[in-house]
Every structure is written in C-alpha cells, then in structure tokens.
Structure 1
Amino acid sequence: MEQHVRRLILQAFPLSSLGLTDYTNPTFEHFALRPFDFADIHQRMKELERDQNETECRMNARKFLTAFFSN
C-alpha cells in the first residue's frame, strides 16, 4: 500500500512545472499547493529549471493523503 501511495505522489508532483511559468495559475494553486509544502514545490521547480530528472524533495504522504481525500 505504501508503494502505491508513493507512486501516486510521484505522479502528482509534476504539477510543480506549472508554477515555473505562472505562480497564479489556478490549477497550480489548487492542485500543487494543497497536497505539497511550498518549499518542496519550489525546490522541485528549481530542479526542473536545471533539467534535473531526479528529485531530492521529501514529500509528506500524510499531508498529501489528507488533501487528496478532502477534495
């Protein structure tokens, strides 16, 4: 079950690429900032700017699941 949750989080994490072009994008604000910490999203955006495929961000699975099920 843990592995399924991690895969779900990793599939949702690319939403941070929307923030590269526009921080006020409604999709970015709704889907990226609720389940993830802004510091992690910001770090991932910097990694994407450097064309880094692997991420060093730590994701809070509990926060993600709470936001996922509350919507």
Structure 2
Amino acid sequence: GGSVITLEFIPNEDRISPAPMAEFCLIMLATTPAGDAYVFSEYDRMFRHAGFGESIMEDIPASNERVIITKK
C-alpha cells in the first residue's frame, strides 16, 4: 500500500465557494482547454477508480489550498 497527498485549490461542491476557489475556477475556465477545477468528489472518484481507498480532505490554516490524503 501507499499514500497519495494532493495539495491543490479545491472549491466546494457548488464550485462557487469559498470566493478564492471560485476565482481559481474562473481562471482555469478562461485559460485551460478543459476549463475547470476539480471538486473533492471528483478527486475521490478518480482515486477510487485507480484502486485507492477512501480520501479525506483537510483545510490548511492561513492558506487557500486544501490537502487530500488517499491511502491504498
């Protein structure tokens, strides 16, 4: 087994909160071919599809980034 740690700007499931994450989504929409930022449930689904177990997401104090920890 192993672990994956993902550090990223991850918006809430509504994709419009919190405000800094919504701004990041807008930037991604305007500047990338796929045009979006992934929400936690999408990361969790990708990791499970790759054979990993449950993922957890934690806020990082004094940061707009969040961390997802996934174990295999």
TM (norm. structure 2) is: 0.30
- Name the structure with the higher helix share: 1
TM-score normalised to structure 1 length: 0.30
Where is the strand percentage greater, Structure 1 or Structure 2? Answer: 2
Higher relative contact order (CA 8 A, sep 6+): 2
Highest CA radius of gyration, 1 or 2? 2
